[in-house]
Amino acid sequence: MTKLLIMKSKTVDDYIAAQPSELRSRLQEIRDIIRSVIPGAEEVISYQVPSYKYHGMLVGFGVHKGGYSFYTMNAEFLSTIKKELGNVKYSISTIHFDAEEPLPVALIKKITRLRIKENKERFLTKNKKQSKLK
């Protein structure tokens, strides 16, 4: 695999274009999956990786040596769905995939939907508390 480029991309298009050619289509596929689940999410570069905001940070993706990663943006989240992850490699809030592995589309969609629900609930709870203070 070619060397990973660590650079400060301004857009997700720039980020994907800067990555090794063998990973670009996978990264674009992850992007398309996220956008199909929540087309209204704000697409940003945060901590030098493509990220999506919906009532706060939602999910993101990036590359690592030997493959790519999917970020849940929540340190407790993956432990709540541990059984559903099966043999998927993960650490705290990040799922790691080898470049040759098939993309687990259903898992990425499910995680994105669960994170949407989680963020929405947190947002509504926060707004409810604020309205009681007024």
Average pLDDT, the chain: 90
Q: Which amino acid belongs to residue 45?
A: I
Mean pLDDT of 71-92: 92
**Maximum CA pair distance of the chain?**
57
Q: What pLDDT was estimated at residue 131?
A: 62
pLDDT of the residue at 101 = 86
Average of per-residue pLDDT across 27-34: 97
Q: What is d(CA 115, CA 74) in angstroms, rounded to the nearest whole number?
A: 9
How far out from the chain centre does Cα 3 lie?
22
Angstrom distance (rounded) from CA 20 to CA 99: 11
> Which domains does the chain possess?
12-133 (3.90.1150.200)
Start-to-end CA span in the chain (Å):
57
pLDDT at residue 125, rounded to an integer? 87
> For the chain, how big is the Rg over CA atoms in Å?
16
The pLDDT value recorded for residue 49 is 95
The percentage of the chain sitting over the pLDDT mark of 70, rounded to a whole number, equals 90
Beta-bridge mates of residue 63: 68
- The token pair at 128 is 């409810």
pLDDT > 60? residue 30: yes
Strands 94-98 and 67-71: antiparallel
Mean pLDDT in residue range 25-39 = 96
